[in-house]
Structure 1
């Protein structure tokens, strides 16, 4: 809490209300930060500003990163930031040895974020092990949702959309993916939801952030986004007993033309697939549409990961492969909910797994992009439950045309 300090000039203005300030944030003093932006007139103003102000401390701690390698981040290691190993079940102070496929490297990750006790939590929240999901009949049969379940799905998916939009507004050069995770975590909690990825099979963070050659399941860490990067943010929210899942790939600053084409093509692959969703369509046809669209632009389609059924379970039937000549079983029926989430690569479709056990990267180190929506099959077609809103950030140039 802020304490009195004669060292703070009375000419400084309160960060919260603008009145003459006589108190200074003690943490800012400890970090030797500028007095401007750290002064407050009263304890009440300090408390009211804390949620946004504390991010200044994190940025200051991470500023020591600069352009150095993860192995040089001694300050972060001393403060409990460690490299992730064994699918999130272990941590290490040193960068693990690996035959990296591209230029990206993992950075240390912060400690697990907390969730208030009043938030309804899935059964893996405490010990990292899903219990209902693996044994459910819905792993083999595609569930037809009830009207009540569908309404809960709509509400949850709307929250997930708002959370992803909040993350999109935070993306810019110099921001760490850990900071994006913080935004996602706090926005989810503020809406009364639980960030579904958190501790799911021991995943250590509240969202996935997949940068450049990362295909999916990138772990938010201390690396700062750089001008020219692309980053996918994958958000899932658990609310009122159901999950809502979506992701988008964003540009960081000035991105090269090849990356722009990749991201736009991936968006179009998803849109083309959604356009054929209706009762009677075979699930396997989605991969044919996506594969055709990707090949037309000279890109490849990832085969190791697929879309999935979703609802009271995070992942269940049906599986939705995104590549051609797949063997997906089943026909779409009204009341089914599932995701389509094509992962499109600039180079080869094959992938490698980082030592953390989660981060899937392209085998050739070239870039990958992804987009995802949660969908409801209706009597006449499809409802995109995670659709973009008029308030969603205007970040995709092709949507302006």
Structure 2
């Protein structure tokens, strides 16, 4: 594993391990999404995530990380990220976000998705669509020779072009043997930031967090759950992506 400007470049063997870690995460997220329906408690998803980790014989990536007490980040409606699974019951029209990670062969996999609970309003559907599209726009810029902030600019332009807001407090990140590696990947273009050229072997967790209102967030008294300050709805999509000579390769796909 080479290191350039503090960023680890993965070789083919390391990328193969990361692909499997991310594939497992994608399968777990698919299973969680299929279990979403009105009347289910969010703790149900924590139990399912733990069971699937045991099935795959992998370590939950988030459990105990910085003291986080669960395997799954489960955030509902105005909760942006790091929500706790609980006895909260999902209702028709809710939005529930899952952020999941595992460790396989010493490497982390990480991905996130937001799922509608039953029928949702056109406004909520727009929030999901734009957030999902902004992730795709960002991934399309993860090309060797581009700058890291080409990703940031693409996400921000798409989100704000649809009248929504990008959360600035939380950002994407490099990933590998550690969950959080360099570089940080903001979903907005920072002012006067030094350029970071993208190179083959970089692996990036790109994760737009988008709100229907303003961009500001606050953390609740549990010291983890981040909510929109104006209590507007939020959505979160994330893929782990490898920069290759042949373009971006999404590692966190189930098939």
User: Does residue 30 of structure 2 align to residue 168 of structure 1?
Assistant: no
Which structure has the highest strand share of the two? 2
Secondary structure, aligned partner of 2:8: coil
Aligned to 1:156: 21
Aligned to 1:289: 154
Within a 5 Å distance, the mapping from 1:1-400 to structure 2 comes to: 141-326=6-191, 327=193, 329-389=195-255
Given that 2:207 and 2:239 are in contact with CA atoms closer than 8 Å, whether structure 1 keeps it comes out as yes
Given that 2:24 and 2:254 are in contact with CA atoms closer than 8 Å, whether structure 1 keeps it comes out as no
> Counterparts of 2:236 and 2:254 in 1: how far apart (Å)?
16
Given that 1:196 and 1:243 are in contact with CA atoms closer than 8 Å, whether structure 2 keeps it comes out as yes
C-alpha change, 1:355 and 1:141, in structure 2 (3 Å) is same
Q: Which consecutive residues of structure 1, in runs of 5 or more, have no partner in the other structure?
A: 1-136, 390-401
Q: TM-score, normalised by structure 2?
A: 0.96
> Size of the alignment, in residue pairs?
253
C-alpha change, 1:139 and 1:378, in structure 2 (3 Å) is closer
Greater RCO structure (CA 8 Å; 6+ sep): 2
Given that 1:216 and 1:360 are in contact with CA atoms closer than 8 Å, whether structure 2 keeps it comes out as yes
> Counterparts of 2:164 and 2:5 in 1: how far apart (Å)?
32
Q: Which whole-Å deviations, capped at 9, do the CAs of 1:202-248 have from their partners, x for residues lacking one?
A: 11111101100011111111101111100110110111100000011
> Counterparts of 1:288 and 1:151 in 2: how far apart (Å)?
29
> Counterparts of 1:337 and 1:361 in 2: how far apart (Å)?
28
> Counterparts of 2:190 and 2:174 in 1: how far apart (Å)?
20
> Counterparts of 2:53 and 2:4 in 1: how far apart (Å)?
27
> Counterparts of 2:32 and 2:147 in 1: how far apart (Å)?
34
Q: Which consecutive residues of structure 2, in runs of 5 or more, have no partner in the other structure?
A: none
> Counterparts of 1:319 and 1:258 in 2: how far apart (Å)?
30
> Counterparts of 1:328 and 1:337 in 2: how far apart (Å)?
19
Q: Which whole-Å deviations, capped at 9, do the CAs of 1:54-92 have from their partners, x for residues lacking one?
A: xxxxxxxxxxxxxxxxxxxxxxxxxxxxxxxxxxxxxxx
Q: TM-score, normalised by structure 1?
A: 0.61
Secondary structure, aligned partner of 2:7: coil
Let me know the Cα RMSD of the aligned residues. 1.5
Q: Cα offset for 1:355?
A: 0.4
Given that 2:27 and 2:254 are in contact with CA atoms closer than 8 Å, whether structure 1 keeps it comes out as no
Secondary structure, aligned partner of 1:171: coil
> Counterparts of 1:349 and 1:363 in 2: how far apart (Å)?
8
Given that 1:249 and 1:369 are in contact with CA atoms closer than 8 Å, whether structure 2 keeps it comes out as yes
Q: Cα offset for 1:324?
A: 2.8
> Counterparts of 1:138 and 1:275 in 2: how far apart (Å)?
24
- Give the greater-gyration-radius structure (CA): 1
Q: Cα offset for 1:325?
A: 3.5
C-alpha change, 1:172 and 1:288, in structure 2 (3 Å) is same
> Counterparts of 1:230 and 1:265 in 2: how far apart (Å)?
14
> Counterparts of 2:240 and 2:152 in 1: how far apart (Å)?
16
